[in-house]
Structure 1
Amino acid sequence: MGKEILFTEQQIEQLKEKGLIIESINNAKEILKHFSSFDVIEVYEKLFMKDGRFKENITIEKIFQFYHYDRSIQNILFKYTVYIERVFKNKMASVISENLGVRKEEYLNIKNYILRNDSEEIIRNVIEEINELSGDENPYILFKKVTFSKMTSLYDFLSEEIKEKIIPFNFLQT
């Protein structure tokens, strides 16, 4: 069975028993009222605790400050991940339109993709899932609905010549 749900005052007492410094009960209540104890405290236990006790001079405010720092880094990474995904999908749409066609039956024809070993089922599934998406057959619009995972799978099965047009650099070259 899961952990027992504790009210804010009980959580604060439990944290104090484990050695967490609570400089302001009001601050601690506000933190735990608006953010889950799991998100703010338990996620970072390995950083701030040793042998089930908080390390010396660790306050709930310090942990909360770290929580905000961590979230801001995650937000930055998310922002640029979304940006990279959009650029990749747009470039895929452009190159695929130019090289394979603009209609679904053209650019989603399995004959346009390189089958390796036992991979035919993978590309068939990817093509089928993309084909099932409703809407415009234009890859510029349709690819916006496709998950990044499916897009990278589609990319994996393209010829090297087409891949180089999508990502025109090689990390291995110096």
Structure 2
Amino acid sequence: MEQLSRVGDLARNFRETRLSTLKTPQEFFDHRQLSRPADMNEATTRITYNTRHFSGNYLLVIGVLAVYALLTNPLLLIALGFLAGGFAAINKFAPEPVQVGSQVVTQKSLYTALFVIGIPLLWFASPVSTFFWLVGSSAILILGHAVLMEPGVESEYQGVEGV
């Protein structure tokens, strides 16, 4: 029960800190602010500003790409579902050893069977290549957007405090 409250607190904290910074689609896709940076210094400045300014939108982009990666790799989805469902089922239905005929089935033996089946299934699903695809595609989209979007006027006054 305590773990559920911690997960709830983490979700609430994530929603308050990251998702509260979501910008509107009109601001995120404002084609009037698109331009090529003059030099590498300006590109670096834009990346620094825009990754902070659009951090919620960029997390949303990563989330959408992750869902797309899972949906286009059904074997990975099955393997993850099998492992997660197996853990949940073992914890819920077999906390104590069970006598089946002349054999005693323990939680340890069920976890061993789950890993013997689940790990090869996960291996064939190629999660490492999916992870690197997710990292690469996210980096290209986010860095491309951050470099091409001119910072707004408010970026000029970012370090200035009110008098």
- TM-score normalised by length of structure 2: 0.25
Whose radius of gyration is greater, 1 or 2? 1
